[in-house]
């Protein structure tokens, strides 16, 4: 399964590769190192985007699940909230998911710039914040751009109600996703450096 919009990226280079191969197989043009090189580049680009836009089904894990695939870069207490931050690289699945069941109350775009997503000051980058009403209270999922990641995609509208693990959005070409949880109702269960998967890896449990 591929994420929405994959065809716009995979289709053109795949089409070029097919045309080049057809020209050589049908002997419309003679095979040459130049044509084979173009074919290899086009096929490589198509395969890269096919891997990048993959969107596998996930079985929701227990508690609060990660909103993104990647590696945990920070687990921080900020006043009355916990922030669990996950850094996504180019090889990760880039579709983001609901960490808990909830309703989208607002989608707020803010910030500016494209600092490296692994740095602390990346929280000032261009970002898209999904404000959710949940059984735990207010929860936020924040998509942040990075040096190469410039496109933040929403797969839901304000007012949408979704179950834990369902698709929320995606970031084109990696970057970072933070989940902010009410400290009175949830406690993180992950540590910095752990690898997590969107929709299936537990990052926090409800506090008793």
In whole angstroms, what is the distance from residue 130 CA to residue 44 CA?
A: 34
Collect all residues with Cβ–Cβ distance below 8 Å to 19 and sequence separation of at least 6: none
Is 24 strand, coil or helix? helix
CB-based contacts of 88, cutoff 8 Å, min separation 6: 68, 69, 70, 94, 117, 171, 174, 175, 176, 177
Q: Are strands 151-154 and 137-144 parallel, antiparallel or unpaired?
A: unpaired
Q: Tell me how long the chain is.
A: 208
3 state DSSP class of 168 = strand
Residues annotated as catalytic (active site), given as ranges: 175
């Amino acid at each position: 399964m591929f994420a929405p919009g994959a065809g716009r990226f995979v289709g053109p280079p795949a089409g070029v590769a097919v045309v080049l191969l057809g020209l050589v197989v049908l002997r419309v043009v003679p095979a040459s190192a130049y044509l084979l090189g173009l074919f290899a580049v086009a096929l490589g680009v198509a395969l890269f985007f096919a891997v990048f836009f993959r969107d596998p089904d996930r079985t929701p894990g227990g508690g609060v699940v990660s909103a993104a695939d990647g590696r945990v870069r920070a687990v921080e207490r900020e006043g009355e909230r916990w922030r669990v931050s996950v850094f996504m690289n180019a090889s990760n699945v880039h579709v983001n998911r609901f960490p808990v069941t909830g309703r989208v109350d607002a989608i707020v775009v803010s910030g500016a710039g494209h600092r490296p997503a692994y740095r602390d000051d990346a929280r000032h980058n261009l970002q898209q914040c999904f404000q959710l009403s949940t059984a735990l209270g207010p929860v936020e999922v924040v998509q942040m751009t990075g040096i190469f990641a410039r496109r933040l995609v929403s797969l839901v509208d304000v007012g949408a109600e979704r179950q834990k693990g369902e698709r929320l959005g995606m970031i084109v070409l990696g970057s970072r996703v933070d989940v902010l949880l009410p400290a009175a109702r949830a406690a993180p269960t992950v540590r910095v450096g752990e690898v997590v998967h969107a929709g299936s890896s537990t990052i926090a449990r409800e506090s008793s």
